[in-house]
Structure 1
Amino acid sequence: MLASTPLLLLTLLTLTSAMYVPEVRLPIENRTFTSSAVDDFLSSSQKSFTNQNLHRLFTNTLPNTLDTTIFSYDLGTDTFIITGDINAMWLRDSCNQVLPYMRFVGEDEELKGLMKGLVKRMSKSVLIDSYANAFNFDSSLSTDHADDVRTPPMSNLTFEGKYELDSLAAFLKLSRSVYAEDHEVFDGDDMYVTYLNAVNAVTDTIRRQQMSTSEEMESKTGPAYTFSRFTTEATDTLMQNGKGAPCARTNMSKCMFRPSDDATTLPFLVPANAMAVVELRETMKVIISQLARKADTAHINPYPIIDELKYLADEIDEGIQTWGKITHPITKKEVYAYEVDGYGNFVFMDDANIPGLLSLPYLGYVDKNDPVYLNTREAVLSEITNPFFFKGRAGEGIGGPHQGYGMIWPMGITVRALTSTDANEIKECLEMLVDATAHTGFMHESFWKDDANDFTRTWFAWANSLFGELIMTLMDEHPELL
């Protein structure tokens, strides 16, 4: 009996491994959208994997947004995508949810139409409310946030009115990403004019938020944005009667809430400004390309828009380089701060949500081997220097205030893998991510550091899409890890 125990144990481990990640993708008849190109890719991808657990997880996660979150669509005209378990469309989430599908747009006309509809919906949403982070499908849907007090006032089309700089950057990123695959995305109706008006709204908002507190308070109209919510959560509202912490001018643009939807401690969120720099410059390239295509701009002169995109990006970039870098008091190395205020104060931490400090190369702001980034990376992946980096029996990674102490976000582990140049580190991240699914077959928002079965959000489509993006990246760059 004792002699057979190792064989029995090996058999049990093999069976457990085979069942660890179940196949849980919805039947085709229950899916909210089907892309033949995505499905064909998934079918042909199995031969690239030696780890079938990983392949099953990839098959579950990559199409999850298409399978479950396309709330409504009219190809080429309108697309509304929910986050998963919340029946609203976040600009940031919906952009990131569909980014992995860009490579398939040229192969699938219906997917192309879906993306065009999303660009159009986002353009209109930004014009409705450039300070909102999330929107209702239409004005008939109720929201839990109707009692929030905000400047400017919100309409029923706004689901939540938290101003997050990366929401505007996400609109720019989605638009230029679709344009890269489909130069006809703005053709037809008045779509290009709508897009240009939305870009104008973005730059106007970002520039207005460059103002210092004293400049705002001394202006005739006062602060352009305030937000107050009656809540027991300090991070769900802004201090000083909705105005947030005071700041001096830095050339960066204020960001009153983080990509986690938590209030910033200091107004200049460096990673969000870095993302804005990248996307303002990429948008400039789109409009210049459209000039070459002789796109109809109606009465809008695109040249001032191009100039403003350039000047604004350059100003913010200069602000990051001047104010966004600090000498860390513990490591004594130059790093990027998470938040600053222009008075010399800073917050050093990182949050798992994108944009964050760990994701700076993923955003396209710095190279993976940039010395200041490497110093920053070392510090955010340390319990000594990042209060939201946790280690436990179930894994290690970055979390954030949104779910609190000890809760690791798989998204942070995924970003760690995407920004790593070390194959062993990437492999360890993959192992943690598989374990973090806790037999559900999907990524979650967060899990307790000592027990992956203690997790939040069973249906969080962005995390699934990001994992799918990681696997496709590894298929190209590190196929040996699959």
Structure 2
Amino acid sequence: MPRSYAKSLFAAAACLAATSAAASCPNYADYSRTYHEPASEGAFRLSSMRPEPACRTFNSTGVEDAIQRLKGQIWDPDLFRLFENTFPNTLDTAIKWRGVAANNTEEELCFVITGDINAMWVRDSANQIAPYKAVMKSASDDIASVFRGVINLQARYLVVSPYCNAFHPPVEANMPAGGSGGVYSVTPPYDRKFVFTCNFELDDFGGFLQLSHDYYTATGDVSFFGKFQWIYAIQSIMAASEAMRQPSYGPGGEWLKPAYTFQSQTMSAFGTLGNNGMGNPINDTGLIRSPFRPSDDSATFDLLIPGNMMMARYLNSTADIMERLPNAPKGLAQQMRDMADEVREAIKDYGIVTGPHGKRMYAYEVDGFGGRILMDDANIPSLLSAPFLGFLEKDDEIYKNTREFVLSRKNPWYCSGPVINTVGSPHIRPGAAWPMAAIMAIMTTDNDGEIIRSLKELVQSTDGLGLIHESVDSFSASRWTRQWFTWANGLFGQMILDLEQRKPFLLQESFQPIFIDKE
């Protein structure tokens, strides 16, 4: 039997089996809102949130082995339950379809929903599976096929609609589309049967590049990148990025029509772009424009510094892949390196400002005319995440100044209270802290006390569900948004694996509440 035909039969059989199992499985949007025994043995009595094995959307031996290994290393029962629930959450619940391309049975595809929304975000899907790089050792590992499938499907999306951010299932999946993301007027136009939403967010490009870097670094499988649409996706990213570096005015002061515009019917000021869909003007800086933030909110000033940090880092590292491909267009790897260098220099020139504490720090957004916004948002890439992105080291002096600002009341989106103290986001409201930011704070510090404090707050902030919420009221753990937020869940698992390597002794701490007998 030909190998390609055998793969097609296997994919069809797997799809049929998954469909049959899914018919008798609970809807995880409902399942994740209710409590399930057995509870953890700690004071918080955290719910068991993993579906039965037959109801999981993907099973990985490497992930299960990691969970069993950590069971002997995490001494606190509530912390372990949180890890056990969250680390596999994307694989358990969000791998909605795996198969092959209609025109090439060697081209693996994988459709990953963001959780409670039946669409695939380029940025989210990259972050959702990124934590599993820790268990991927070679291209033959079970999880490696998921990475390849996501990279291939993201490449298809980026080739066809590089300015868009969220997409419907591929036609090969024979799945219903997840509805419409809203009513928009966008340039360039796009196919609504293909695209769910079309917010241009620079971190979509960064996410694709980072995921490519992660797969290559873990497996050394360079040949994969030369086989399908990866090179075309890089060309599409480069062309769109160059177009989004164009300033608002030409050398003679003439207005230059922007490459991308966006208008929508919305009740939120962050749901559309001002100036008839063009956003605020930008100067000629070398930075790449990002009209929307990683939160999907519109920017105040379009030159998002964390997004440009991510591009500078991963354009450079994926150029290493490009230069090793025999079929790569001549000079493309060098173009990637040149853009990375130019963006990095532009961040130095325009992104470093004097903060309210009188110290040099990174701004969140700038316009190149002197306009700047001093804040940070929990969504990654963030200023807090700069070392996590690999843009700089955590002992960098300007980063330390930035971090001091971000994790303080000087940052307008820092939330403090008895439940959790960390960065929030305009995407929700003031006072709604995002556990994702607390996780990132842990991953960007070596301070044991700070790590222990943040871990305690994370354990006590799940409202008993044992999942990482999108946001939690800093004064009440019972007020939260989105429990099925697989990106944040996976990031928590990634953080635990990071501590296993950096500070394993902290996993032996107790994170139980202290009860004081008043009698």
Q: Scaled by the length of structure 1, what TM-score is found?
A: 0.91
Rounded Cα–Cα distance in structure 1 between residues aligned with 2:237 and 2:301: 22
Deviations 1:166-196 (A, max 9, x none): 1011111111211122233643xx9535111
| Residue equivalent to 1:350 | 376
Structure 1 position 221, deviation (Å): 8.2
Q: 1:40 to 1:222 in 2, by over 3 A?
A: same
| Residue equivalent to 2:184 | 148
SS at match of 2:492: helix
Alignment size in residue pairs: 457
CA contact under 8 A between 2:120 and 2:169: conserved in structure 1?
yes
| Residue equivalent to 1:119 | 151
Deviations 1:186-244 (A, max 9, x none): 43xx9535111110111111111111111499889822100000111010000000000
Rounded Cα–Cα distance in structure 1 between residues aligned with 2:419 and 2:142: 41
> Is residue 2:135 matched to residue 1:104?
yes
Rounded Cα–Cα distance in structure 1 between residues aligned with 2:40 and 2:487: 30
> Is residue 2:452 matched to residue 1:399?
no
Identity %: 35
| Residue equivalent to 1:7 | none
Rounded Cα–Cα distance in structure 2 between residues aligned with 1:185 and 1:52: 41
> Is residue 2:223 matched to residue 1:198?
no
> Is residue 2:125 matched to residue 1:94?
yes
Structure 1 position 304, deviation (Å): 1.6
CA contact under 8 A between 2:40 and 2:81: conserved in structure 1?
no
Deviations 1:375-400 (A, max 9, x none): 000011111x2100011121211001
Match of 1:473 among 478, 494, 498: 498
Structure 1 position 41, deviation (Å): 1.7
SS at match of 2:42: helix
> Is residue 2:201 matched to residue 1:164?
yes
Rounded Cα–Cα distance in structure 2 between residues aligned with 1:159 and 1:113: 25
SS at match of 1:214: coil
Rounded Cα–Cα distance in structure 1 between residues aligned with 2:96 and 2:353: 44
> Is residue 2:475 matched to residue 1:450?
yes
Match of 2:162 among 106, 130, 144: 130
CA contact under 8 A between 2:42 and 2:77: conserved in structure 1?
no
Match of 1:320 among 347, 350, 355: 347
**Larger mean Cα displacement after TM superposition, 215-224 or 356-365:** 215-224
Q: 1:217 to 1:67 in 2, by over 3 A?
A: farther
Match of 1:178 among 215, 234, 237: 215
CA contact under 8 A between 1:217 and 1:223: conserved in structure 2?
no
CA contact under 8 A between 2:182 and 2:264: conserved in structure 1?
no
> Is residue 2:111 matched to residue 1:80?
yes
CA contact under 8 A between 1:32 and 1:67: conserved in structure 2?
yes
SS at match of 1:395: coil
SS at match of 2:411: coil
Structure 1 position 80, deviation (Å): 0.6
Rounded Cα–Cα distance in structure 2 between residues aligned with 1:380 and 1:19: 30
**Larger mean Cα displacement after TM superposition, 312-321 or 110-119:** 110-119
CA contact under 8 A between 2:468 and 2:485: conserved in structure 1?
yes
CA contact under 8 A between 2:44 and 2:460: conserved in structure 1?
no
Q: 1:19 to 1:348 in 2, by over 3 A?
A: closer
| Residue equivalent to 1:10 | none
Rounded Cα–Cα distance in structure 2 between residues aligned with 1:131 and 1:219: 25
SS at match of 2:442: helix
SS at match of 1:335: strand
CA contact under 8 A between 2:40 and 2:48: conserved in structure 1?
no
User: Which amino acid in the other structure matches residue 150 of structure 1?
Assistant: V
Q: 1:462 to 1:216 in 2, by over 3 A?
A: farther
User: Which amino acid in the other structure matches residue 336 of structure 1?
Assistant: Y
Match of 1:276 among 283, 290, 311: 311
**Larger mean Cα displacement after TM superposition, 172-181 or 248-257:** 172-181
Rounded Cα–Cα distance in structure 2 between residues aligned with 1:479 and 1:150: 49
User: Which amino acid in the other structure matches residue 237 of structure 1?
Assistant: T
Q: 1:54 to 1:234 in 2, by over 3 A?
A: same
Q: 1:142 to 1:83 in 2, by over 3 A?
A: closer
> Is residue 2:277 matched to residue 1:266?
no
| Residue equivalent to 2:396 | 370
SS at match of 2:98: strand
Structure 1 position 142, deviation (Å): 5.2
Q: 1:40 to 1:219 in 2, by over 3 A?
A: farther
Rounded Cα–Cα distance in structure 2 between residues aligned with 1:15 and 1:167: 37
Q: 1:271 to 1:239 in 2, by over 3 A?
A: same
SS at match of 1:350: coil
Structure 1 position 307, deviation (Å): 1.4
Rounded Cα–Cα distance in structure 2 between residues aligned with 1:263 and 1:220: 22
Displacement over 3 Å in runs of 4+:
183-187, 190-193, 215-221
Q: CA RMSD in A?
A: 2.0
User: Which amino acid in the other structure matches residue 269 of structure 1?
Assistant: L
Rounded Cα–Cα distance in structure 2 between residues aligned with 1:73 and 1:462: 19
Contiguous gaps of at least 5 residues in structure 1: 1-13
Deviations 1:234-281 (A, max 9, x none): 100000000000111111111000000000000100010000000100
User: Which amino acid in the other structure matches residue 351 of structure 2?
Assistant: G
Rounded Cα–Cα distance in structure 1 between residues aligned with 2:110 and 2:398: 40
User: Which amino acid in the other structure matches residue 137 of structure 1?
Assistant: P
Rounded Cα–Cα distance in structure 2 between residues aligned with 1:15 and 1:128: 47
CA contact under 8 A between 1:120 and 1:191: conserved in structure 2?
no
Rounded Cα–Cα distance in structure 1 between residues aligned with 2:341 and 2:40: 56
Rounded Cα–Cα distance in structure 1 between residues aligned with 2:286 and 2:40: 58
Rounded Cα–Cα distance in structure 1 between residues aligned with 2:503 and 2:265: 49
Rounded Cα–Cα distance in structure 1 between residues aligned with 2:41 and 2:146: 39
User: Which amino acid in the other structure matches residue 162 of structure 2?
Assistant: S
Rounded Cα–Cα distance in structure 1 between residues aligned with 2:180 and 2:448: 45
CA contact under 8 A between 1:361 and 1:368: conserved in structure 2?
yes
| Residue equivalent to 1:417 | 442
Deviations 1:135-156 (A, max 9, x none): 1114762533352100011212
Rounded Cα–Cα distance in structure 2 between residues aligned with 1:429 and 1:394: 10
